[in-house]
Amino acid sequence: MNPKDTSTGTLSYEQAGVNYDLIDPLKVAAQRAAAATGANLAAHGFTEVPASRGESAYVVDVGPFYLASIVECLGTKTLVADDMQKLTGKSYYDSIAQDTIAMAVNDLITVGATPLVVQAYWSAGGSDWFGDAQRSQALVAGWKRACDTCGVAWGGGETPALAGIVEAGRIDLAASCTGLVNPKERLSVGDKLAAGDAIVLLASSGIHANGLSLARKLVERLPQGYLTKLPDGTTYGEALLAPTVLYSPVTEALYKAGITPHYCANITGHGWRKLLRHPATLTYRIDKVPPVTPVLRFMQEHAKQDDREAYSTLNMGAGFALFVRAQDAQRTVEVAQAAGVAALVAGRVEAGPKQLLIEPLGIRFGDDDLQLR
Amino acid sequence: MNPKDTSTGTLSYEQAGVNYDLIDPLKVAAQRAAAATGANLAAHGFTEVPASRGESAYVVDVGPFYLASIVECLGTKTLVADDMQKLTGKSYYDSIAQDTIAMAVNDLITVGATPLVVQAYWSAGGSDWFGDAQRSQALVAGWKRACDTCGVAWGGGETPALAGIVEAGRIDLAASCTGLVNPKERLSVGDKLAAGDAIVLLASSGIHANGLSLARKLVERLPQGYLTKLPDGTTYGEALLAPTVLYSPVTEALYKAGITPHYCANITGHGWRKLLRHPATLTYRIDKVPPVTPVLRFMQEHAKQDDREAYSTLNMGAGFALFVRAQDAQRTVEVAQAAGVAALVAGRVEAGPKQLLIEPLGIRFGDDDLQLR
Per-residue pLDDT, B149: 98
Per-residue pLDDT, A1: 30
DSSP B270: B
- First vs last C-alpha separation in chain B: 26
Cβ separation B78–A165 shorter than 8 A: yes
CATH superfamily of B70-106+113-182: PurM-like, N-terminal domain (3.30.1330.10)
Q: Find chain A residues with C-beta within 8 A of B38's C-beta.
A: 153
| CATH for A37-186, options being 1.10.1040.50, 3.40.50.920, 3.30.1330.10, 3.30.465.10 | 3.30.1330.10
> Is B4 in CB contact (< 8 Å) with chain A?
no
Closest CA–CA distance from residue B340 to any residue of chain A (Å):
19
Cβ separation B26–A166 shorter than 8 A: no
Mean pLDDT of chain A: 93
- Closest among A181, A50, A57 to A108, alpha carbons compared: A57
**Cα–Cα distance measured from residue B241 to residue B112, given in angstroms and rounded to the nearest whole number:** 28
Which chain B residue lies closest to A73 (C-alpha atoms)?
Answer: B158
**Cα–Cα distance measured from residue A9 to residue A251, given in angstroms and rounded to the nearest whole number:** 41
Say whether pLDDT at A249 is over 50. Answer: yes
Of B23, B58, B130, which is closest to A130 when you measure between CB atoms?
A: B23
Of A72, A150, A178, which is closest to B67 when you measure between CB atoms?
A: A178
> Is B140 in CB contact (< 8 Å) with chain A?
yes
Closest CA–CA distance from residue A104 to any residue of chain B (Å):
11
> Is A17 in CB contact (< 8 Å) with chain B?
yes
Per-residue pLDDT, A25: 79
> Which long-range contacts (C-beta less than 8 Å, at least 24 apart) are formed by A132-138?
A132/A91, A133/B25, A134/A91, A135/A85, A135/A91, A135/A93, A136/A93, A136/B25, A136/B26, A136/B29, A137/B29, A138/A91, A138/A92, A138/A93, A138/A94, A138/A97
User: Quick check: A226 and A236 in contact, CB under 8 A?
Assistant: yes
Question: How do the pLDDT tens digits run along chain B, 373 residues long?
Answer: 333 333 456 665 555 556 667 767 788 899 999 999 999 999 999 999 999 998 999 999 999 999 999 999 999 999 999 999 999 999 999 999 999 999 999 999 999 999 999 999 999 999 999 999 999 999 999 999 999 999 999 999 999 999 999 999 999 999 999 999 999 999 999 899 999 999 999 999 999 999 999 999 999 999 999 999 999 999 999 999 999 999 999 999 999 999 999 999 999 989 999 999 999 999 999 999 999 999 999 999 999 999 999 999 999 999 999 999 999 999 999 999 999 999 999 999 999 999 999 999 999 999 887 765 4
Fold of B198-369: Phosphoribosyl-aminoimidazole Synthetase; Chain A, domain 2 (3.90.650)
Q: Find chain A residues with C-beta within 8 A of B159's C-beta.
A: 23, 26-27, 30
> Is A50 in CB contact (< 8 Å) with chain B?
no
**Cα–Cα distance measured from residue B38 to residue A153, given in angstroms and rounded to the nearest whole number:** 5
Cβ separation A33–B154 shorter than 8 A: yes
Question: Which ranges of chain A would DSSP assign to H, the alpha helix?
Answer: 20-36, 77-88, 93-108, 133-150, 212-219, 236-240, 248-256, 294-302, 307-313, 329-338
The 10 Å Cβ neighbour count of residue B230 is 15
User: Quick check: A108 and A144 in contact, CB under 8 A?
Assistant: no
- Does the fold of domain B198-369 match that of domain B70-106+113-182? no
Q: Report the side by side order of strands in the sheet with B355-358.
A: B263-266, B318-324, B198-203, B343-351, B282-286, B355-358, B363-366
Cβ separation B153–A40 shorter than 8 A: yes
Beta strands in A125-186 (DSSP E): 153-158, 171-181
Which chain B residue lies closest to A212 (C-alpha atoms)?
Answer: B162
Query: Structural domain boundaries of chain A?
Result: 37-186, 198-369
Cβ separation A58–B140 shorter than 8 A: no
A313-331 pLDDT, tens digit per residue, is 999 999 999 999 999 999 9
Closest CA–CA distance from residue B285 to any residue of chain A (Å):
31
- Closest among A271, A252, A121 to A208, alpha carbons compared: A271
Confidence tier at A5 by pLDDT (50, 70, 90): very low
Closest CA–CA distance from residue B271 to any residue of chain A (Å):
17
Per-residue pLDDT, A373: 47
Per-residue pLDDT, A147: 98
Per-residue pLDDT, B7: 42
Of B78, B117, B121, which is closest to A121 when you measure between CB atoms?
A: B121
